[in-house]
């Protein structure tokens, strides 16, 4: 599989380079140059498959040419160790529970897959891999847990002071070992900016082999497709029209859903539910990207959605790359707040 930079479609790299670099040298994101469409037989049999089985089918269709099937199976077994049940709330409304992982966050799926993939690459080289991650809570917890004591890796978590829940702060600041946490005076946007600056710093990259575990890394997005397929497997017999409503902050989760749709997942449309920090909703409404400044982030009960300046690379991918063929597949809705756990 080849991956291109969203700033230059001709700049192609293989999976290892896309995952290890995280962010392309031209500041673009790496996206798959080609997304295979799963055969109709897969969707006919999807309800008979286990979570692990359907995940292996999806990842094999995408990455079978990049990694041995035995390694892909090992990574799936490492990633899918907990369920994602669909719970009925009303006759046609269901909640996909993504909090059954070790840190109670949906990002446990992506973090565990990424740790399995990077441990594979680390075993093939002598240099230690340093993973930089900015977090408003979920990502730091999931990545720290997923990479704890993984040979050949070191994790550095940057988080905004006073803006992370107590339990999540404890989840990534008390581990020790190969996990280092740095408290930053500022917002998540400031933490993410520091991570991106580090990737573009020539001197730092001469001394350290850096990669990212944020949603800018394609290896975080790919495994988050799995639970969209699994949710569909649990509910599609009830209705031919499946709609996903996705609480959205930095829009990595929604991007994973759109990737799944491009691989054939029959979704009628997505609802991107933002809290009071509605930068992307305004971007789609006006065509202008006007992020809120650090001083005007609205702090809500859904702290991991409190971004005044969500990754512009992701908004560009949503608007220009993923939606260019079917722009009506995403509906943006602003709500007063949506509760974090």
Instruction: Give catalytic residue positions.
Output: 107
CA of 165: how far to CAs of 50, 81, 110, 293, 303, in Å? 34, 25, 21, 22, 8
Give the C-alpha separation, 300 to 304, whole Å: 9
Q: Which residues contact 203 (CB under 8 A, 6 or more apart)?
A: none
Angle 172-178-183 (CA atoms, 0-180°, nearest 5)? 40
d(C-alpha 164, C-alpha 162), whole Å: 6
Distance between CA atoms of 243 and 149, rounded to whole angstroms?
Answer: 39
Q: In what order do the strands lie in the sheet with 243-247?
A: 243-247, 269-274, 330-334
DSSP per residue, 89-141: EETTEEEE----STTSSTHHHHHHHHHHHHHHHHTT-SSPEEEEEE-SSHHHH
The 10 Å Cβ neighbour count of residue 336 is 8
Per-residue DSSP letter, 39: P
Radius of gyration of the chain (CA): 19
DSSP string, 224-237: HTHHHHHHHHHHTT
């Amino acid at each position: 599989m080849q991956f291109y930079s969203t700033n230059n479609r001709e700049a192609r790299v293989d999976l290892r380079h896309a995952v290890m670099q995280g962010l392309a040298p031209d500041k673009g994101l790496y996206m798959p140059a080609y997304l295979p469409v799963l055969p109709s037989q897969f969707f006919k049999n999807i309800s008979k498959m286990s979570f692990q089985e359907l995940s292996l089918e999806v990842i094999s269709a995408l990455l079978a040419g990049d990694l041995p099937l035995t390694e892909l199976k090992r990574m799936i077994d490492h990633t899918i160790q907990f369920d994602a049940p669909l719970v009925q709330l009303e006759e046609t409304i269901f909640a996909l529970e993504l909090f059954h992982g070790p840190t109670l966050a949906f990002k446990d799926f992506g973090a565990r897959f990424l740790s399995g993939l990077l441990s594979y690459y680390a075993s093939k080289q002598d240099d230690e891999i340093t993973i930089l991650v900015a977090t408003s809570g979920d990502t730091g917890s999931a990545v720290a847990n997923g990479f704890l004591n993984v040979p050949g890796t070191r994790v550095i978590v940057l988080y905004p002071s006073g803006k992370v829940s107590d339990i999540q702060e404890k989840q990534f600041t008390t581990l020790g070992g190969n996990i280092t946490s740095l408290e930053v005076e500022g917002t998540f946007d400031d933490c993410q900016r520091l991570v991106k600056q580090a990737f573009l710093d020539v001197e730092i990259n001469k001394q350290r082999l850096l990669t990212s575990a944020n949603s800018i890394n394609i290896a975080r997005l790919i495994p988050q497709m799995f639970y969209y397929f699994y949710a569909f497997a649990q509910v599609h017999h009830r209705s031919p029209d499946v709609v996903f409503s996705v609480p959205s902050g930095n829009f990595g989760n929604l991007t994973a859903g759109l990737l799944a749709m491009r691989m054939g997942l029959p979704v009628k449309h997505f609802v991107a539910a933002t809290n009071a920090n509605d930068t992307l909703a305004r971007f789609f409404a006006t065509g202008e990207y006007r992020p809120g400044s650090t001083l005007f982030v609205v702090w809500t009960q859904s702290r991991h959605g409190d971004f005044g300046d969500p990754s512009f690379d992701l908004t560009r991918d949503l608007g220009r790359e993923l939606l260019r063929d079917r722009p009506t597949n995403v509906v943006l809705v602003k709500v007063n707040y949506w509760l974090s756990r």
